[in-house]
Structure 1
Amino acid sequence: MRIVYLHQYFRKPTDNGSNRTYEMARRLAVRGHDVHVVSSSSTVDEAFTEQLDGFSVHWLPVPYDNTMGIGERLKSFVEFALRSSVTGRMLRGDVVFATSTPLTIAIPGIASTLLRRSPLVFEVRDLWPAVPIAMGALGAPWMRALAHGLEKIAYTASTHVVALSPDMKDGIVATGVPAEKVTIIPNASDNELFAGREEEGQAWRARHDWLGDRPMVFYGGTIGKVNDVGYLVRLAARLRSTHPEVRIVVVGTGNEEQAVRAEALRLGVEGENVFFLPPVPKFEVLAIFAAADVSVSTVDDIPVLAANSANKVFDSFAAGTPVVINHEGWLADLLRASGAGLVLSPQDLDGSAQRLGDYVTDREALRSGGRAARRLAVEQFDRQMLADRLAEVLEAAAGPAALTTGTRARRALRRGA
């Protein structure tokens, strides 16, 4: 069947950022489906189509990056929604799969199925509009009302909804969506990709004199308001007196990077026990995860953010590296139950710094946490297992006719439609 896969932030393996869409699309193609991803690019002047590992990517010239302010982002969201509506409709999918964020991805999802029998499956990667409202990004009442209206329309128009965490599913169901209409498919662990990277990890350590064989805490990802990477800087200020050998390594960029680095300079930790490095592609991240004693995923102290399903957590599981987080929610429950890491308090900085320092210098605790992390990766979050679950959702939504008689798109193209 033909799958039209709408995602504004598609990334190749050679790019930095989440590769969920790439991994899912290529596995759907291996399963025999005709997959067409529609995404945006900041580096092209006109639309073009690229063949990539068994599926097609339709690039639209819509700028976007993590350093944009709120106004620039909203402009990008709307422009992509309009352009991808046209492209998505022309592709005539047997099923349309729209993955958010942003919530505006629902617009081309609905447009691509309007007045057709093609179903829409809507994927929720963050609870929009709850997250931007909680972060103050949608301050005006009319903006909040519009966002809630679009949320309701998206859920109503969808044959099925995919949520990336149990907490997200609870949030969706709380809006009135039947629980049986929502399937949980969290982010995934690329187990084969991350396995056996120990030598690369040691080589990465050796290239950085300030690290060597010292305990390493690794944060890899966006440095934005949601992520509160400043929390790590504040922990570092306390670790200097309690565990001065611990090194915190931040790899990434974002619109809060300068503010975070300014705080690190003010507290006297940048270049001492906190080190900032530019973002790298996924294949280079493998060595950093192997080098790290723990990886960390932080969010601002806002309850709705605890529903997250951060990619870095599942990469860390795949690498067999324990995970440290600073929030409650389903991931906190998972780490406590499995022993695959540590849950810190976002408010008690002194206590959290002490616990982190003690943990990252305890070799037996790290070995035990690493084994537990790898078990989770293999038993619960294996990429192929979760890709199969997504395929089953899309196939069920499209129905048996799409699987047995070929796609309507192909018939239409043969007729010259």
Structure 2
Amino acid sequence: MHIAIFNQHHHNPDCPATCRHYTFLEYLAKRHKVSLVTSSGWKQLRITDNYSWVPEGVELYEQVVPYSNKMGIGRRLVSYGGFAAYSLTKGLAIPKPDVIWGVSTPLSTPWMADRVAKLRGVPWVFEVQDLWPSFPIEMGAVKKEWLQRRLYQLENKLYRSASHIVPLSPDMESYVAAQGITHDKITTILNGTDLEMVDAVTPEQVEALRRQYKLQGKQVVLYAGTYGRANNIPTIMQAAEALADHPNITFVLAGGGYYEEELQKLAKRLPNLRLLPPQPRPEVFKLFKLAALSLVSFNDLPVLASNSPAKLYDSLACSTPVIVTNPGWTKSLVEQHGCGRYSPAGQPTALAETIRQLLASPEELKEAGLRGAAVAREQFDRQLLARQMEDVLLKVAAKAK
């Protein structure tokens, strides 16, 4: 089978990113012909050079187009539009695929996958990584009501046009179904994590990291991810201030983004706040193994409650309990499996108290970590999730024939 995937935001494990599709493509390319239509945007963020840019066997079609989380709306639209135009041209030129796989975000990528699929007479699968346009609208990036309506109409049209839809969380599935899509057309495949990278981390590496950052004797509270406007970062900052008089507790934040400058100013003032640069994928697991507790933090918006954050899966796989700030399915997950706690977004006093309570209960932390690791082995292994994606693609291609 020939699979053509349209994904503007391809990256590899040398980048500070989740690498879901890298793992999936690596799995699929051993069994099928795989063509990847993408952009070069993430290459500039590559930290190391330990991995090939695409897995062996993947045919790469790449447009040189800039992209950054720090871009304003105008520059992002130029980037999205440029990639959409490239996708159409390249999608019509590559050997005819049996199935097309379009990945949001942004919505322009699955839109172009739909166009190419219709012109070439093949089915397509819509992977919903984030709910668009709900995310930019709820974040205030799309203010004009007429444009909001047009984007929601486009979203609904794409759901109906796709042969199958793959959301990344149960709440996303519920949202898609609420748009009038039958559940037999939807398969949730979680974001997941790379267990082989978890298993590669040794105790000696973790201790070396602890010495490197002078964290001996410290209980580390880790946030590893984007310092974005959606990530409830001010609450973490205020919680760190509230716990500054607990010398055994240190907040370690690894990432970059919108709040980076404010965090740097705060770190100069607080002895219990340590900032690290973005890390390549294998190094992130060392940090999670080092941490006593991790934060999976987002603002209190309905669209964010549905997301499928990689740091949740990575942390639990490393036996590190999590505190989540969304009232959605992640809250249900940690409470059902006893692998963390919920603390409401925007409430720094509550977050600080939850952290203090958990770190004062070593047995609870240990048991929560073991339960998290067990559920990760059972449900979050990307090798198993890649097989689920393969099954979806095979069924869609077979049905079309």
When the two structures are superposed, what TM-score results if normalisation uses the length of structure 2?
Answer: 0.93
Match of 2:73 among 57, 64, 70: 70
Matched, 1:397 2:396: yes
Tell me what 2:172 maps to.
Answer: 168
Tell me what 2:207 maps to.
Answer: 202
Tell me what 2:256 maps to.
Answer: 253
Tell me what 2:48 maps to.
Answer: none
State the 1:324 CA deviation.
Answer: 1.4
Matched, 1:222 2:229: no
CA distance in 2, matches of 1:302, 1:28: 35
Are the counterparts in 2 of residues 69 and 255 from structure 1 also a CA contact under 8 Å? no
SS of residue paired to 1:97: strand
RMSD, aligned CA = 2.0
Tell me what 2:306 maps to.
Answer: 307
Are the counterparts in 1 of residues 299 and 346 from structure 2 also a CA contact under 8 Å? no
Kindly tell me: are residues 142 and 256 of structure 1, through their superposed partners in 2, closer, same or farther at Cα, counting changes over 3 Å? farther
CA distance in 1, matches of 2:204, 2:375: 23
State the 1:400 CA deviation.
Answer: 6.6
SS of residue paired to 2:120: coil
Deviations 1:68-94 (A, max 9, x none): 122211221111111112112222211
Are the counterparts in 1 of residues 236 and 348 from structure 2 also a CA contact under 8 Å? no
State the 1:51 CA deviation.
Answer: 5.8
Tell me what 1:371 maps to.
Answer: 370
Matched, 1:293 2:310: no
CA distance in 1, matches of 2:69, 2:54: 26
Gaps of 5+ in 1: 403-417
CA distance in 1, matches of 2:238, 2:42: 36
State the 1:115 CA deviation.
Answer: 3.0
Match of 2:88 among 82, 85, 88: 85
Match of 1:149 among 148, 153, 158: 153
Tell me what 1:409 maps to.
Answer: none
Deviations 1:245-267 (A, max 9, x none): 211111111133224445x369x
SS of residue paired to 1:136: coil
Tell me what 1:95 maps to.
Answer: 99
SS of residue paired to 1:240: coil
CA distance in 1, matches of 2:54, 2:140: 40
Kindly tell me: are residues 51 and 287 of structure 1, through their superposed partners in 2, closer, same or farther at Cα, counting changes over 3 Å? closer
Kindly tell me: are residues 333 and 265 of structure 1, through their superposed partners in 2, closer, same or farther at Cα, counting changes over 3 Å? same
Tell me what 1:126 maps to.
Answer: 130
CA distance in 1, matches of 2:122, 2:53: 24
CA distance in 2, matches of 1:51, 1:187: 19
- The amino acid of 1:197's aligned partner reads T
- Residues 325-336 of structure 1 aligned to structure 2 (within 5 Å): 325-336=324-335
Matched, 1:185 2:189: yes
Are the counterparts in 1 of residues 193 and 382 from structure 2 also a CA contact under 8 Å? yes
- Residues 315-326 of structure 1 aligned to structure 2 (within 5 Å): 315-326=314-325
CA distance in 2, matches of 1:244, 1:70: 42
CA distance in 2, matches of 1:148, 1:252: 32
SS of residue paired to 1:14: coil
State the 1:313 CA deviation.
Answer: 0.9
Tell me what 1:357 maps to.
Answer: 356
SS of residue paired to 1:78: helix
Deviations 1:372-410 (A, max 9, x none): 1111111111111111111000000011787xxxxxxxx
State the 1:135 CA deviation.
Answer: 0.6
Tell me what 1:111 maps to.
Answer: 115
Kindly tell me: are residues 361 and 73 of structure 1, through their superposed partners in 2, closer, same or farther at Cα, counting changes over 3 Å? farther
- The amino acid of 1:251's aligned partner reads A
State the 1:350 CA deviation.
Answer: 1.8
- The amino acid of 1:129's aligned partner reads P
Tell me what 1:408 maps to.
Answer: none
CA distance in 2, matches of 1:65, 1:349: 29
- The amino acid of 2:386's aligned partner reads A
CA distance in 2, matches of 1:328, 1:43: 31
Aligned residues: 392
Are the counterparts in 1 of residues 295 and 323 from structure 2 also a CA contact under 8 Å? yes
State the 1:347 CA deviation.
Answer: 4.1
State the 1:33 CA deviation.
Answer: 0.8
State the 1:213 CA deviation.
Answer: 2.2
Tell me what 2:342 maps to.
Answer: 343
- The amino acid of 1:379's aligned partner reads E
Tell me what 1:10 maps to.
Answer: 10
Are the counterparts in 2 of residues 44 and 61 from structure 1 also a CA contact under 8 Å? no
Q: Out of 183-192 and 330-339, give the one that drifted further.
A: 183-192
Tell me what 1:384 maps to.
Answer: 383
Are the counterparts in 1 of residues 293 and 320 from structure 2 also a CA contact under 8 Å? yes
State the 1:361 CA deviation.
Answer: 3.6
CA distance in 1, matches of 2:373, 2:237: 28
- The amino acid of 1:364's aligned partner reads E
CA distance in 2, matches of 1:213, 1:13: 30
CA distance in 1, matches of 2:99, 2:256: 35
State the 1:157 CA deviation.
Answer: 1.5
- The amino acid of 1:207's aligned partner reads Q
Are the counterparts in 2 of residues 24 and 387 from structure 1 also a CA contact under 8 Å? yes
Are the counterparts in 1 of residues 117 and 123 from structure 2 also a CA contact under 8 Å? yes
CA distance in 1, matches of 2:202, 2:107: 37
Deviations 1:266-300 (A, max 9, x none): 9x43xx11121110110221211111111211101
CA distance in 1, matches of 2:366, 2:22: 32
Matched, 1:233 2:237: yes
Q: Out of 95-104 and 282-291, give the one that drifted further.
A: 282-291
Gaps of 5+ in 2: 45-51
When the two structures are superposed, what TM-score results if normalisation uses the length of structure 1?
Answer: 0.89
